[in-house]
Amino acid sequence: MSEPTPPKMPYWHVYTDAEGVSRQERFFIERFKFEGINPETAPQWNDKMEPAPSVMTFTVLPVGWVGEWHENPRPQWIAILSGRWFVETMDGHRVEMGPGELMMGEDQNTRARDGRKGHLSGTVGDEPCTMIVTGLQVEPTVNQPGRFK
């Protein structure tokens, strides 16, 4: 039996570049190991991130919600459960995301330009957007796009 091929899980990384401009690019979590979470369980694909204190929030963005230009309060993983939303970064890149998509919001330390600082986000369509937000109590990085592999 051949060794199973590890999966890749896509995510959008909203980050701050060296000039203080927020940007976003698509990367992949790909350091999966095929193992049980303990010796009694069947193996599954796991990619364990570095331990960090965190705050988990369940969020419902109402139809028509727009979060004016702002930075993420801390580096945070955002998993979309239902509905759709968009994120526009200072470089003009706009991405729409829906159920099952994942984003790392890490645009702290941006520098205001042309009335923009951080990112603009809002709901898309005629239903609320529900998500799980896991804020990490860690120092944000600058100019490290795709740092989660």
pLDDT score recorded for residue 32: 93
141, with CB counted inside 10 A (0-12, 13-18, 19+), is middle
HSE-up (13 A, CA, CB side) for residue 91: 15
Q: What is the pTM of this model?
A: 0.90
- With tokens 């990112």, the residue in question is 119
42, with CB counted inside 10 A (0-12, 13-18, 19+), is exposed
pLDDT in tens, 56-99: 999 999 999 999 999 999 999 999 999 999 999 999 999 999 99
Q: Over 60: is that where the pLDDT of 1 sits?
A: no
pLDDT in tens, 7-33: 999 999 999 999 999 999 999 999 999
End-to-end CA distance of the chain: 27
CB 85 within 8 A of CB 97: yes
